[in-house]
Amino acid sequence: MKKKHRKYCPYCGEKISEKKEGDILREYCNICKIFFYDNPLPVVSCILENDRNIILVKRGNKPYKGMWCLPSGFAETGESIETAALRELKEETGVKAGITNLVDVDSCTNYFYGDLIFLTFEVERTGGKLIAGDDAVEVKYFPLNKIPKLAFDSNTKAVNAYIKSKVDYWAIVDSFNLTIEDVKYAEKKKNLLSDRLIDVIENNSELIATLWLKDVTTKKSTYHYQKYEQKDIFERGKKIILQFGKWLEGFINEKDIRNFYFQLGEERKTEGFALSEVMSALILIRKNIWEFALSKGMWQKTIDIYMALELERRMMLFFDRASFYIIRGFETGKKA
């Protein structure tokens, strides 16, 4: 079934002809002397998301009967676009909401309705009970990574635009919710902000170690490091830098940190280092990792600030534990 066109004038009943208005050929009534305009129909859609799941409705009527789509419908004469969007959402899902953002605007030609303009809004639930209504036969939440094929391409475009707009926000949420004890660390790795810098840190471990070597062999607080071969000192620093990267990736755990740094504390005591020197050298490694990370273009956008904060938080977790076990190894010489 295709969209039907006018055959007769709705005012006088005369058969409609065609006439150019400017460069555009339009339907025209020779009796009433008026043109008829076929403007795109405004369609409103809503994206209501909860914990990365969005509400979809299964269509009960043609076109695309039985397919899923966003809560959608036509704006009525005399109502605002925003009011229409919230009305359609309430009629099809039973949910009351408020508009928070315009997600996407798209135009298309539909075989059934003709030219359409889709306006998709992000909404926030304020009340109501989730229940299929109007021409919907089913309504439910779908995970954003398991969205079925949608009835309207404009819906698909809007959902993709919504996901793209939320990627950085979700990365922030994931990063700040993650704790060192999280057993699913490796599974969540790709969503974390500072993981975007892990490869940079690991691939530049030698450069960071070189910068650290210059510090540790020139400062009074690390005097004994100047008595050792620079190649040996360099390898020691590089090993800790790489270890920090592996910890960020989830390849080493609390037990690994405890065993390594407890032994490191014992070894430095045997080598004649003062505890203050060992701790100062560790602090210098942390400083050089941080300064190198900042030199890679951070602070340019708001998301970069969150990235820096999240990276700093995880550095604190790692190096605080390393410091504690070094001191324990240095003081007791026995495993905790």
Around 152, how many Cα atoms within 13 Å sit in the side-chain half-sphere?
31
In angstroms, the CA 106 to CA 58 distance is 21
Paired sense of beta strands 41-50 and 114-128, if any:
parallel
In angstroms, the CA 313 to CA 295 distance is 18
Spatial contact of 73 and 84, defined as CB atoms under 8 Å apart: yes
In angstroms, the CA 42 to CA 84 distance is 10
Kindly report, residue by residue over 124-145, the tens digit of the pLDDT.
999 999 998 877 889 999 999 9
Quote the pTM value: 0.57
pLDDT value, residue 102? 95
Spatial contact of 312 and 175, defined as CB atoms under 8 Å apart: no
Residue 58 amino acid letter: K
CB neighbour list of residue 42: distance below 8 Å, 6 or more residues apart? 74, 75, 81, 84, 116, 117, 119
In angstroms, the CA 176 to CA 178 distance is 6
Residue segments in the chain with a per-residue pLDDT below the cut of 50? 1, 179-191, 335-336
CA angle 55, 60, 64 (to 5 degrees): 85
In angstroms, the CA 312 to CA 333 distance is 30
Catalytic residue list: 138
In angstroms, the CA 241 to CA 236 distance is 9
pLDDT value, residue 133? 84
- Identify the three-state secondary structure at position 329: helix
pLDDT value, residue 202? 81
pLDDT value, residue 214? 94
pLDDT value, residue 143? 95
Give the chain's domains with CATH numbers. Answer: 1-38 (no CATH), 41-170 (3.90.79.10), 185-332 (1.10.490.70)
Place of tokens 């604190």: 316
Residue 293 amino acid letter: A
Kindly report, residue by residue over 170-203, the tens digit of the pLDDT.
876 666 565 444 444 444 444 455 566 677 788 8
- Identify the three-state secondary structure at position 2: coil
